[in-house]
Amino acid sequence: MFTATGIALCALVSLLTVREVRREWEPYLLLGIAVFFLLLTLPGVRESVSFAATLTSVAGEGVGVILRALGIAWMASAAGEICRASGESALAGYVEGVGRVELLVLSLPLLRELLALAGLS
């Protein structure tokens, strides 16, 4: 986390500088920073995916759906924040809306199972 914090502070200084000198480069810098942080977290993501696969095979498909839902929510939120930071709040809303629809579609099989267990379907 210390590394990420240091990089975030450097990125902030870079963003403030770019905002003053070349404002049109700001979205590209934000995208580069987001990709850099994604690459920084990949070792942890690999370990988490491996653990999630093991957990899903032991605990059932419900855990896999929950983990996919967390991934969708995180991705929609991150994309929305990048869009919002670039001044495109309408696009951020669209991206987050698509994420909500994806979460709804993902949860439908679990809802069907719950209704079947309750004897309502």
Q: What is the pLDDT along the chain (121 residues), one digit of tens a residue?
A: 777 788 888 888 888 888 888 888 888 888 888 888 888 888 877 787 788 778 777 777 777 788 889 889 988 998 898 888 878 899 999 999 999 999 999 888 888 888 888 888 6
Extract long-range pairs of 56-65: CB within 8 Å, 24+ residues apart.
Answer: 62/110, 65/106, 65/107, 65/109, 65/110
Residue 106, C-beta contacts closer than 8 angstroms, at least 6 positions apart: 65, 68, 69, 72
pLDDT of residue 121: 66
Q: Has this prediction a pTM greater than 0.85?
A: no
Q: Distance between CA atoms of 60 and 9, rounded to whole angstroms?
A: 41
Domain coordinates in residue numbering, the chain? 1-42, 60-121
pLDDT at 73: 92
